[in-house]
A and B are shown apart, each in its own frame.
Chain A
Amino acid sequence: MCAGLTGFAQEQFTVKSKVLDDRKEPLPGVSVLEVGTQNGTTTDFNGNFVLKVASEKSILRVRFLGYQSIELAANKFGTSVSLVEATSDLQEVVVVGYGTLRKKDVTGSVSSVTKENLNKGATTSPLQQLAGKAAGVVITQTGSEPGTSPGIRIRGITSLIGGSDPLVVIDGIQGNLDLLNQLPPNEIESVDILKDASATAIYGSRGAPGVILVTTRKSEAGTSQIEYSSTVSIDMISKKLDMLTADQWRTQRSLWGVPVSADHGSNTDWYGLLTKTGSTQNHSIAIGGGSTNFNYRASVAAILQDGIVIHSNNQNYIGRFQATQKALNNKLILSANLSGSTVANTGSVASIGRAAFTSNLISNAYVSKPTDPVLNGDGTYFTDTNLFQYINPYAVAQTVQNNQTVNKMFGSLKADLEVTKGLTIGWFGSWRKLDGNTGYYLPAASTVASAIDQHGTANINNYHEDERLMDATLNYKKVIGDHSLDAIAVYEWQRQTYNGNFTQMKGFINDITTYNALQLGDFTRINSGDISSYKNDRTLISFLGRINYAFKNRYLLTASIRRDGSTVFGENNKWGNFPSVSGAWRLSEESFMKRVDFLNDLKVRVGYGVTGNQQGLYPQNSLQLVGSNGQTYFAGNQITNFGVTQNYNADLRWETRTQTNIGIDFALFNSRLSGSVDVYRATTSNLLFNYTVPQPPFPFSSIVANVGSLLNEGIDFNLNAAIIKTKDFNFSVNGNLSLLRNKVLKLSGSLNGVPLNTDYVPWGTSSYLIVGQPVGTFNILQHAGKDANNKETIVGETADGLYDGGDRSPLRKMEGSALPTYTYAFSPVISYKNFDLSMLFRGQGGNKIYNSVRSSFSYFENLGKSNLLASAVSTGLFTSPFSSDLWLEDGSFLRFDNLTVGYNFDTKQLKFIRNLRLSFTATNLAIFTKYTGLDPELNVSGASAIGATGGTGFGNDNGIYPRISSIAIGLNVTLK
């Protein structure tokens, strides 16, 4: 029987066997470890291994990625052992916040993405790796400016004032989306996204917008490795706007009465001058190793971006160290994490312009006339002195200094002690610090009017964030017969402190020192606003508990409760409760289902939870405060002008989001077809918003309050199909589809007896918050044509040009919303022998975009000072007093987002290399859309800044940094 056994010495025992997969094909590179020792080996190309172990009773662990590990006594190995593929992700472990669960025990709606499934290529942010990978999780990249990250919305817009970003938790450290930028793309083991309230309620008043839980890579016991990976891409502009050429401009000039003097006789390609081919590089080295009691992993990564707009680049260097040590007979586990990063960014000017058009620098390049020269005869930058505040964008790009450095550090320590069997007490502490510094210098040579006036403007901005968190946990696990119980109680304390200062100086005699010597400026030019500092903080204290109960492994129940108290809540509402309950029934475990042999797994889930959102609340919102408002003149002196800073609201509190989720998880036909369907309905009540209030009795026209409510409901589908599965050739498709309906339920109510009559709130250009309609509904005037003077006319305008332009004007018609109603993605994956190929297609639709760029670049009244779109000729408008639906466009698109081809080399002949992979990735290969602007993927965050009464560019295209298409080559090497 045991052909491979050879008694060598009394206490030595040699295991000789072969590891096969479930199709009886040998598995090379499988790790075999004698448990409790560092004695181990890996299988050769034919799956064979030989390992001398202490005795025939020694336990060997056989592990291979993508397969379920097995542990077997040495004398139980036959000529071969088979590993079963972990194809059904229902077997995987899922991180659920303050703990983990096997996926089959999960009762809420959670999407998990493991590192194998993350998007490949020269990614610069973990969110790019996740795009299109989870149903109901929409990741939006607006332009490709170096250092910028995509936005993310989980199941739609949950809040109106800036609180729709999910909470991010990396190995227990909580933070905002920026925390992800501190994570090298290579260091992610898995990402779990908690979507419904029964899953996120454990995060209480920060859980409403969803939670992203990231687990970083750790070294496995018995391994020791060095890994290098590198991706280098060439980045190109994917689309340019079709503007008038110099000759076309000249033709139009004579047609529209622009004086010849406006033609400066050149033929300049401003856009070409300001753009170039960019590159993105991603390098990382990781080392790691471990024994049974100890493991560590350290990595250093560099993410280097050189943007397609000149003088825009970003360098992000990240170092990480993680170690875990067990002691007291494995009863005590200590893990420490330390991560530091430094980011250096040189930014293109974000907001610049003349009276009529303000956008980023690159959009100003479109506006510049092709007939203007770049330089004067004497080599100085050309400006047209006949024009009001002319801007030469090339001069701006070449002379403006806009540099930022950010140093970030976070560390954490986790200690878990098993007090008695099943009872663990834990302590977790984390500390995150961020120190940022920006230096900005706008010299007179930039041609920007304010810089010429002030003889140069320099400023330095320092900002600091300090976030501390402490958890004390008590965890109890018990299995009694058919009952299993997992309960946890947590006390959590966290404080975030923000402070900083800003200093500005103007009037420099030359540009040599830029922003590095503010004292060289002219002190007589200092005015209020040139010097400022701030400090504020927020503390959140929470008590929470959760029970997971399972009966017979098929009836699952989870219940949780969290009580949060926060300093940012108003005096009258300091504490809130956030309960949840969810249950699941694993039908496939029932005996009557066992006969259905094509069914591998079937689970029905139902969940309900109450979560909160306090991200939209800033410190000091609930208090009536007096601050400075520049200077004024009184009683013969210039004095500080003090004034009330805001409307205050002592009742201010978190938003409450209640969500019901019903879902089904299934795996069929040997788990070759698996997926899930989730239906949800989520209502945000106590909706935070800057409600319009009568002025009086309020000093400002709006107040942050909790009045309205908002509904999101939808269906998320997720399907994975292994269509062909043979020894050499595999073909699978993963896809997801989300349908989402958003509706403003209520905006009006009363606040301390003052009726708030809020409706038709302007939310963007001609878009509104209207009760009964989705957020950002376009309620817009109807384009009719133009009059004899080429002025635009609208439907319903009287003969003498009178019209009702009011927000509720009957002339306005509702024409859809900026919010997509469906998003989808699908990803075919093919592997043939050592080759693999994967693609990602991603799309959305049902939304409209107001193309402000097109309207700004279409009016011939501006021809004398700016270039226009080629399409403006056929439109032929001189001017328009309206924002009409002429500029409203369909925002649907389908993007061929990623194509990766890889080859894994045979390494059995190589002495030092365990893994070697070469890959090519092309991104943004094609886009299918009717949208005429640069890119239909725009800011749909739905957010509005605090204190602002409208949305921030929601559904409006006012010019973006161009989006790139890139081709990348990637190399991965793991040394033996």
Chain B
Amino acid sequence: MKKIITLALLITLIMQSCTNVEEVVYDKFAAKEFYSTSTGADVALANVYSQIPGNWGGLGYVGADNGWYDVNSMSTDEQVVPHRTTGDWELTFAQMYLREWLPDHSQINNTWNWLYKSVFSANLAVDLLQKANADPSKIAEAKVMRAFFYYLLMDDFGNVPFYTDNNITVDKMPQKSRKDIFNFVVNELKDNVDKLSTTKGGNYYGRFNKWAGYALLAKTYLNAEVNTGTPMWAECLAACNKVSEGGFTLHSGALDATNPLGSKYFELFGDVCPDDETILAIYTKVDIVGRNILTIRSFGGTDGTNILGYSAWNGTICLPDFVKKFSDNDIRKHQFRYGPTPYGPKPAGFINYSLEVTNLDNPGAEPNAGARNQKFYPALPMNGGGASNDFPIYRYADIMLMQAECMVRTNDAATAKPLVDAIRVRAGLSGLAANPTLTDIYNERGFELSWEGHRREDMIRFGTFILAHGLAPAVDAHYNLFPIPTSALNANTNLKQNTGY
């Protein structure tokens, strides 16, 4: 018996020394310690910007597919990826163009999820920067980013859930009215844009500086009537004038034989967006920081191989009603490829795309049907999954046309004329014969800003979005908003669907 007791004691002793079950982490950082440093706070701000370049899975503002850009561009008259009679391309893109979208449309769902993931990231950055007593300009920057995401949410979905503090529960997160969101965006911007840096380019390339902040504020005012019912043209003009204080000019439109499309104008959509005109750009380096698929997605397979060195996707086309509006003298027309003598490189065996397209979904478009777009002529490095073109979210030509629009709408067309003319002259056209009308402004925006993500907003503001165009039928006014995605309604049963869906 003694033996047993001794043995039992011995074992108990061993046991006590071997009861440590604390977890050791070898390959990650503990969040609390990491974010309490100023480096950590900076990284949180960088993380907000990392949401913007395009990534697979419908993430990002532009550059990859199935996300915000496709939803806001394919639903307009400027572009669509048709289903092909060869079986290529799912119908989701054509559904956007033909206004056949439903609440469970995958691209609309991706857009919603991306925007809310981005809002979360901005909330986190605001919180961490404030706790770290960071430079006020950085706190302001994070808040302006958040306002940017809410602006996009309001623009696409109307009444949306709102929160600025990540530490609340879902029952305290109301679905705010479109007007309330609008007011939040305006107030947040008014409070913060002046705190932003005035530096252009360099460390602030691809970031919200003061001028980008005012450009966003101007956009918000520009669309005030759509969002709140009350126009704010004077406020918009004032905000645009603030942007002008940044000293922006139009980039050159001079001929340039070294440019594949023949003009310096297309440098605006190249590897680095030039500082003279660009107000806010998205930095892109294929597969490392986002990607830009806009041209490779458009070209036919062998055109990709012959011109770019990578098989292209035979995807996006521009419909004839849109292409035909461009004057042949307009250097901006060089963005299109079609017919036997297209703009841009013409290697042996290049494809002769027909301008006409008769069907988008069933049975689909013929393989070579539809004009292609090369506005974002691929910048190196590139591969079959995209190129490295940066993307201008805001540039000065847009601001000038916004100024002109405000003037025309407030019966000051004469002041608007030189602004519109400057843009036309840069494109190789003559100035307008008379003072610009709203239609002139609308058309000029289409020529200048095609494929830059502004078209849906413009068409809604000018009342053309729900009208028939190209192969798309006229639809009810409720199509001016997208439906709140089914999965969001599933996750939060308190959400109310937009009228009509």
Q: Which of these, A630, A805, A879, contacts B102 with CB under 8 Å?
A: A805
A536 interfacial by beta-carbon distance below 8 Å: yes
B120 interfacial by beta-carbon distance below 8 Å: yes
Q: Which of these, A624, A757, A791, A808, contacts B31 with CB under 8 Å?
A: A624
Tell me the residues in window 484-511 of chain A with beta carbons closer than 8 Å to chain B beta carbons: 489, 491, 493
Inter-chain contact A385/B86, CB cutoff 8 Å: no
B residues less than 8 Å from A790 (CB atoms): 362
Inter-chain contact A805/B83, CB cutoff 8 Å: no
A512 interfacial by beta-carbon distance below 8 Å: no
A533 interfacial by beta-carbon distance below 8 Å: yes
B residues less than 8 Å from A6 (CB atoms): none
Distance in angstroms from B43 CB to nearest chain A CB is 5
In the complex, A624→B53 CA distance in Å? 26
Inter-chain contact B15/A491, CB cutoff 8 Å: yes
Inter-chain contact A864/B288, CB cutoff 8 Å: no
Chain A residue with the shortest CB-CB distance to B368:
A386
A129 interfacial by beta-carbon distance below 8 Å: no
In the complex, A420→B24 CA distance in Å? 42
Chain A residue with the shortest CB-CB distance to B88:
A388
Distance in angstroms from B383 CB to nearest chain A CB is 4
B residues less than 8 Å from A791 (CB atoms): 362
In the complex, A627→B31 CA distance in Å? 9
Q: Which of these, B40, B305, B363, B493, contacts A757 with CB under 8 Å?
A: B493
A residues less than 8 Å from B501 (CB atoms): 802
B residues less than 8 Å from A419 (CB atoms): 3-4, 7
B residues less than 8 Å from A878 (CB atoms): 362-363
In the complex, A258→B173 CA distance in Å? 51
Distance in angstroms from A545 CB to nearest chain B CB is 12
In the complex, A699→B118 CA distance in Å? 10
B residues less than 8 Å from A258 (CB atoms): 85-87, 363
Among the 9-residue stretches B222-230, B463-471, B484-492, the one with 4 or more Cβ atoms under 8 Å from chain A is: B484-492
Chain A interface, number of residues (Cβ within 8 angstroms): 101
Among A568, A620, A803, max chain B CB count under 10 A is at A620
Among the 9-residue stretches B44-52, B429-437, B446-454, the one with 4 or more Cβ atoms under 8 Å from chain A is: B44-52
B90 interfacial by beta-carbon distance below 8 Å: yes
Inter-chain contact B86/A262, CB cutoff 8 Å: yes
Inter-chain contact B493/A386, CB cutoff 8 Å: no
B23 interfacial by beta-carbon distance below 8 Å: yes
Inter-chain contact B169/A474, CB cutoff 8 Å: no
Inter-chain contact B23/A567, CB cutoff 8 Å: yes
Inter-chain contact A639/B46, CB cutoff 8 Å: yes
Q: Which of these, A642, A789, A864, A879, contacts B34 with CB under 8 Å?
A: A642
B348 interfacial by beta-carbon distance below 8 Å: no
Tell me the residues in window 856-913 of chain A with beta carbons closer than 8 Å to chain B beta carbons: 861-866, 878-879, 881
A residues less than 8 Å from B288 (CB atoms): 527-528, 630-631, 638
B residues less than 8 Å from A627 (CB atoms): 27-29
In the complex, A540→B86 CA distance in Å? 58
Q: Which of these, B103, B202, B363, contacts A636 with CB under 8 Å?
A: B202
Tell me the residues in window 474-489 of chain A with beta carbons closer than 8 Å to chain B beta carbons: 474, 489
In the complex, A406→B214 CA distance in Å? 60
In the complex, A692→B487 CA distance in Å? 12
B residues less than 8 Å from A639 (CB atoms): 43, 46
B73 interfacial by beta-carbon distance below 8 Å: no
Inter-chain contact A864/B84, CB cutoff 8 Å: yes
Inter-chain contact A641/B46, CB cutoff 8 Å: yes
Among the 9-residue stretches B146-154, B310-318, B322-330, B415-423, the one with 4 or more Cβ atoms under 8 Å from chain A is: B310-318
In the complex, A575→B87 CA distance in Å? 58
Chain B residue with the shortest CB-CB distance to A385:
B301
In the complex, A610→B405 CA distance in Å? 73
A residues less than 8 Å from B40 (CB atoms): 642
Inter-chain contact A861/B311, CB cutoff 8 Å: no
Give B9-51 as 1s and 0s: 1 = Cβ < 8 Å from A's Cβ atoms: 0010011001111111111111110110000101101110110
Give B39-69 as 1s and 0s: 1 = Cβ < 8 Å from A's Cβ atoms: 0101101110110010000000000000000
In the complex, A79→B34 CA distance in Å? 86
Inter-chain contact B384/A645, CB cutoff 8 Å: no
A450 interfacial by beta-carbon distance below 8 Å: yes
Chain A residue with the shortest CB-CB distance to B30:
A625
Inter-chain contact B21/A625, CB cutoff 8 Å: no
Among the 9-residue stretches B129-137, B160-168, B232-240, B242-250, the one with 4 or more Cβ atoms under 8 Å from chain A is: B160-168
A619 interfacial by beta-carbon distance below 8 Å: yes
Tell me the residues in window 455-501 of chain B with beta carbons closer than 8 Å to chain A beta carbons: 486, 489-493, 501
Inter-chain contact A452/B310, CB cutoff 8 Å: yes
Distance in angstroms from B118 CB to nearest chain A CB is 12
B residues less than 8 Å from A453 (CB atoms): 310, 383-385
In the complex, A753→B310 CA distance in Å? 54
B residues less than 8 Å from A388 (CB atoms): 88-89, 301, 313-315
Knowing A386-B301, A624-B32, the reply to whether A863 touches B87 (Cβ < 8 A) is yes
B residues less than 8 Å from A629 (CB atoms): 47, 50
B residues less than 8 Å from A425 (CB atoms): 7
Inter-chain contact A696/B285, CB cutoff 8 Å: no
In the complex, A878→B361 CA distance in Å? 10
Give A686-712 as 1s and 0s: 1 = Cβ < 8 Å from B's Cβ atoms: 000000101111010100000000000
A residues less than 8 Å from B168 (CB atoms): 696-697
Knowing A355-B90, A536-B26, A878-B362, the reply to whether A634 touches B46 (Cβ < 8 A) is yes
In the complex, A173→B311 CA distance in Å? 54
Inter-chain contact B302/A385, CB cutoff 8 Å: yes
Inter-chain contact A755/B104, CB cutoff 8 Å: no
Give A377-405 as 1s and 0s: 1 = Cβ < 8 Å from B's Cβ atoms: 00000000111110000000000000000
In the complex, A695→B169 CA distance in Å? 9
In the complex, A886→B211 CA distance in Å? 56
B114 interfacial by beta-carbon distance below 8 Å: no
A552 interfacial by beta-carbon distance below 8 Å: no
In the complex, A696→B491 CA distance in Å? 12
Inter-chain contact A534/B27, CB cutoff 8 Å: yes
Q: Which of these, A355, A541, A862, contacts B19 with CB under 8 Å?
A: A541
Tell me the residues in window 155-203 of chain B with beta carbons closer than 8 Å to chain A beta carbons: 163, 165-171, 173, 202-203
B367 interfacial by beta-carbon distance below 8 Å: yes
In the complex, A541→B171 CA distance in Å? 41
B residues less than 8 Å from A575 (CB atoms): 21
Give B405-444 as 1s and 0s: 1 = Cβ < 8 Å from A's Cβ atoms: 0000000000000000000000000000000000000000
B residues less than 8 Å from A697 (CB atoms): 166-169
In the complex, A401→B74 CA distance in Å? 40
Give A441-473 as 1s and 0s: 1 = Cβ < 8 Å from B's Cβ atoms: 000000001101110000000000000000010
B residues less than 8 Å from A861 (CB atoms): 83, 87, 91, 362, 364
B residues less than 8 Å from A537 (CB atoms): 24, 26
Inter-chain contact A632/B87, CB cutoff 8 Å: no
B343 interfacial by beta-carbon distance below 8 Å: no
Inter-chain contact B86/A565, CB cutoff 8 Å: no
Q: Which of these, B21, B25, B384, B492, contacts A452 with CB under 8 Å?
A: B384
Inter-chain contact A386/B367, CB cutoff 8 Å: yes
Q: Which of these, B31, B117, B203, contacts A626 with CB under 8 Å?
A: B31
Inter-chain contact B29/A808, CB cutoff 8 Å: no
Inter-chain contact A420/B3, CB cutoff 8 Å: yes
A754 interfacial by beta-carbon distance below 8 Å: yes
A residues less than 8 Å from B103 (CB atoms): 805-806
Inter-chain contact B25/A536, CB cutoff 8 Å: yes
In the complex, A419→B4 CA distance in Å? 9
B residues less than 8 Å from A269 (CB atoms): none
In the complex, A332→B24 CA distance in Å? 39
Inter-chain contact A641/B47, CB cutoff 8 Å: yes
Which 4 pairs show the lowest CB-CB distances between chains A and B?
A694-B170, A865-B87, A864-B87, A453-B384
Known A-B contacts: A259-B366, A539-B21, A641-B47. Give 9 more (CB < 8 A): A388-B301, A474-B8, A491-B14, A541-B19, A629-B50, A632-B49, A633-B206, A699-B166, A790-B362
**17 contacting pairs across A/B (C-beta < 8 A):** A388-B315, A425-B7, A474-B11, A536-B26, A541-B19, A541-B21, A625-B25, A625-B28, A632-B289, A634-B206, A635-B203, A636-B203, A638-B288, A695-B117, A697-B169, A861-B83, A881-B102
